[in-house]
């Protein structure tokens, strides 16, 4: 099976009340860890590449690694541009083998977001590629943009029908209280998501796939292990997994996870090097790092997304 779009994945996820995991990839070990988990659990996968990932690893290397994952596993895998910053980046990914792109106009005035998203949709659909748009702004850091909690804004449900119909987007990312990175809530703040907004969005846009960004849970064991072996991550806190599980049974069909993979990988490498100070072959510490990614993704597939057996 070649790379697929997210169209059927989302139709099945919506009906089946589960979500598909969209995992950020930057190198071979991350890709292998994710797809080994998907293969073991027969789960569909979205592998997503940010502008930063393309700058780090190179577009062609990432496309070829993901194509290798498809050949090796036979799983339905979509290759997605995460947070496409402009039309040119989206075009480059559409022309260069991606099956899905996000155009992130969430920081723009509404009409400019509509115009830019529509332009990307027209180009993408012509080539059989699907598009994710975004309304509302998450807090946190993505690429070189840092949105403070004060500047973040929830999605306005009254805008979603107009945005989806005028742009023609295939899925919509919304802001209901998730945020990027490992510091999602202030110390002492009670984590919460605005399920009332999600319900309103669902009413205004029935049967339409919704996306949650910033959905890492910042697993305490990973943070503890990083701190135990010389790291310093104070007050790191994420979205409780039971809230994400609930969102996955609603209109949310795609859940984005990056930070939890970074934390799992870093925790494994720190532990390995602390326990084996004389080792210097990268394969020795990248193997447990890859295993840690696999274990994290297996956990997400079964306990958060509910997409095991759905490939």
For every residue of 267-295, DSSP letters joined together read HHHHHHHHH-TT---HHHHHHHHHHHHHH
The DSSP bridge partners found for residue 284 are: none
Residue 100 interaction partner, one of ligand 13P, Zn ion, ligand G3H, none, beta carbon < 5-8 Å per kind: none
Q: Note whether 35 and 11 are within 8 A (CB).
A: no
Among 118, 213, 254, 271, binds ligand 13P (CB under 6 A): 213
The DSSP bridge partners found for residue 137 are: 153
Q: What is the DSSP letter of 214?
A: S
Task: Report the b/e string of 98-115 with b at 16+ CB within 10 A.
Answer: bbbbbbbbbeeeeeebbe
Among 180, 271, 290, 310, binds ligand 13P (CB under 6 A): 180
Residue 216 interaction partner, one of Zn ion, ligand 13P, ligand G3H, none, beta carbon < 5-8 Å per kind: ligand 13P
Among 65, 129, 175, 257, binds ligand 13P (CB under 6 A): 257
Stretch that binds ligand 13P, among 6-14, 73-81, 120-128, 208-216 (CB under 6 A): 208-216
Q: Judged by CB, which is closer to ligand G3H: 180, or 310?
A: 180
* Binding flag, residue 21, ligand 13P (CB under 6 A): no
Q: What is the DSSP letter of 20?
A: E
* Residue 106 DSSP SS3: coil
- Could you tell me the smallest distance in angstroms from the CB atom of residue 140 to ligand G3H? 8
Residue 52 interaction partner, one of Zn ion, ligand 13P, ligand G3H, none, beta carbon < 5-8 Å per kind: ligand G3H
- Site of tokens 């559409």: 94
- Could you tell me the smallest distance in angstroms from the CB atom of residue 74 to ligand 13P? 26
Q: Note whether 252 and 234 are within 8 A (CB).
A: no
Q: Judged by CB, which is closer to Zn ion: 78, or 311?
A: 78
Give how far Cα 217 sits from Cα of 135, 293, 299, Å. Answer: 22, 14, 12
Binding residues for ligand G3H restricted to 239-258, rule: CB under 6 A = 258
* Binding flag, residue 271, ligand 13P (CB under 6 A): no
Structure-block tokens of residue 102: 């996000």
Q: What is the DSSP letter of 305?
A: I
Q: Judged by CB, which is closer to Zn ion: 142, or 298?
A: 142
Among 155, 216, 225, 294, binds ligand 13P (CB under 6 A): 216
The Cα–Cα gap between 280 and 274 comes to 12
* Binding flag, residue 50, ligand G3H (CB under 6 A): yes
Binding residues for ligand 13P restricted to 100-119, rule: CB under 6 A = none
Measured CA angle at 70 (ends 180, 49), to 5 deg: 25
| Site for ligand G3H, rule CB under 6 A | 24, 50, 52-53, 82-83, 142-143, 180, 258
| Site for ligand 13P, rule CB under 6 A | 24, 82-83, 180-181, 213-216, 256-260
């Amino acid at each position: 099976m070649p790379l697929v779009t997210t169209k059927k994945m989302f139709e099945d996820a919506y009906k089946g009340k589960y979500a598909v995991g969209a995992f950020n990839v930057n190198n071979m070990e991350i890709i292998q860890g994710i797809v080994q988990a998907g293969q073991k659990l027969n789960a569909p996968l979205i592998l997503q590449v940010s502008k930063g990932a393309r700058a780090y690893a190179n577009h062609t290397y990432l496309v070829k690694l993901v194509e290798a994952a498809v050949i090796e596993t036979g799983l339905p895998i979509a290759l997605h541009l995460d947070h496409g910053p402009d039309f040119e980046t989206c075009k480059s990914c559409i022309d260069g083998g991606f099956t899905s792109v996000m155009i992130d106009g969430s920081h723009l005035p509404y009409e400019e977001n509509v115009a830019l998203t529509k332009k990307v949709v027209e180009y993408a659909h012509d080539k059989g590629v699907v598009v994710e748009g975004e309304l509302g702004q998450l807090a946190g850091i993505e690429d070189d943009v840092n949105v403070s909690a004060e500047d973040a804004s929830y999605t306005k449900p009254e805008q979603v029908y107009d945005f989806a119909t005028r742009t023609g987007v295939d899925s919509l990312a919304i802001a209901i209280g998730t945020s990027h990175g490992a510091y999602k809530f202030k110390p002492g703040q009670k984590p919460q998501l605005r399920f009332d907004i999600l319900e309103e969005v669902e009413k205004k846009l029935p049967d339409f796939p919704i996306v949650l960004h910033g959905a890492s849970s910042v697993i305490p064991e990973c943070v503890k292990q990083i701190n135990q072996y010389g790291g310093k991550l104070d007050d790191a806190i994420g979205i409780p997994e039971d809230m994400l599980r609930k969102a996955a049974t609603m209109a949310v069909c795609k859940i984005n996870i990056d930070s939890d993979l970074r934390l799992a990988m870093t925790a494994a490498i720190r532990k390995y090097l602390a326990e084996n100070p004389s080792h210097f072959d990268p394969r020795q510490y990248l193997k447990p790092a890859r295993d840690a990614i696999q274990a994290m993704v297996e956990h997400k597939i079964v306990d958060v997304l509910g997409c095991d057996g759905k490939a």
